[in-house]
Structure 1
Amino acid sequence: MEGDKMTYLYKFFISSMIIFSLFLTACGTSPVNSSLAEKINPINDFDVKNYEQYAATLQNENGYSKKEASKLAFEVELLKVALINRAMELGIKITDEDAKKQANEGRELFVSGKLSDIEMKSIEETIVDLGITEEQFWNEYVVQTGAKMQILIERLQDYHKEHYREIDWDDYAKDIVENFKIKEIEKINKFKEKIGME
């Protein structure tokens, strides 16, 4: 049952990241300005907004109760942070060029109208919430967040295939999360406080 739960969490997380990477695009080469940089949560840290979006999706689209949605959204966020931290510990690096290429694919879906109404609305709301232009959103914000996260996890999967082929990916990811819980208990507890979780 635990393995099934991890598989679900991972699949939910990846689908969320794909949606998030739809917010990605970059053509410009200008660096993120300081006011925008302040709005970008480090990709290897917990993000309250991501947590809230996951929880809302689980409630509104999947019919979970508020308590169930909160718990599962926390576990998805924990999985994301644990995997990204592990990728960084292994020295996996992502260049802005890699992220811009990934981001352009997401922007094409946005421009071509291939996203759902919910995804389109989420992008528009994020731009307004951040108080930035659409160009800044695609060319800078998404490149530094969703695109980099997605590529880091894809490369961590590649690392797993190369070095731990005999271990199922779900088991490998579960071990990463368990180790992260041990090492980062203080950080995890601080995030739980922020989101009002006991």
Structure 2
Amino acid sequence: MHHHTEPHTMRTLGDHTWQDQAACRSTHHHPVDPDLFFPEPDEMDRISQAKALCAQCPVRNTCLDAALENGDRDGIRGGMTEEERDLLHRKIQHRLNYARVNAVLAGRDVHLTQAERDAVLRAAYQAEMPAERLAWLLKVSEEHAEKLYRRTRREIRNRAVDEEKKTKKKEMTPESVTKTLEEPMGDTPSRDDLGTAA
């Protein structure tokens, strides 16, 4: 059940124009009853009728993404009933689509999940992007962007420390202990530069 949105059909933040292409849109020549998309769970015929329309809809994936990103749990959206979408709704914050992440890093206005925002933050941090640019990309204040950078710096530093502890534990075999005792005690330089920590 993978629904990958191709970069060119990515939904921008305030963009609802995709709805004009929706198969469920009612027109004079093609009247559609909107209630069809809000059936009771046991109304199988209405459900299959609605899904038949979704099946031929050119913006079905965008519709599904929009429902998931907006936490819109009611009705049939993107060809899926509320129950069928439930698991996707629960997993949406962890979705990580690098096409979206890269689109935002390139300055495009795209809906991101929390996992995708975190990926933008890490990439920006590693590229040493100015906080004001990050603020603009993520639509937050510059102050908040600086706070995110500080948090990331701490996380990366803590991870490096944890890794070092794990490696030390592994090395503590009897031979390595003897070797450690024989080695001259030198101060190891602190790993503060990004290169080694990341």
* Greater RCO, 1 or 2 (C-alpha within 8 Å, sep 6+): 1
**TM surpasses 0.5:** no
**Larger CA Rg, structure 1 vs 2:** 2
Task: Name the structure where helix makes up a greater proportion of residues.
Answer: 1
**TM category, shorter:** under 0.3
Q: Give TM-score scaled by structure 1 length.
A: 0.24
Q: Give TM-score scaled by structure 2 length.
A: 0.24
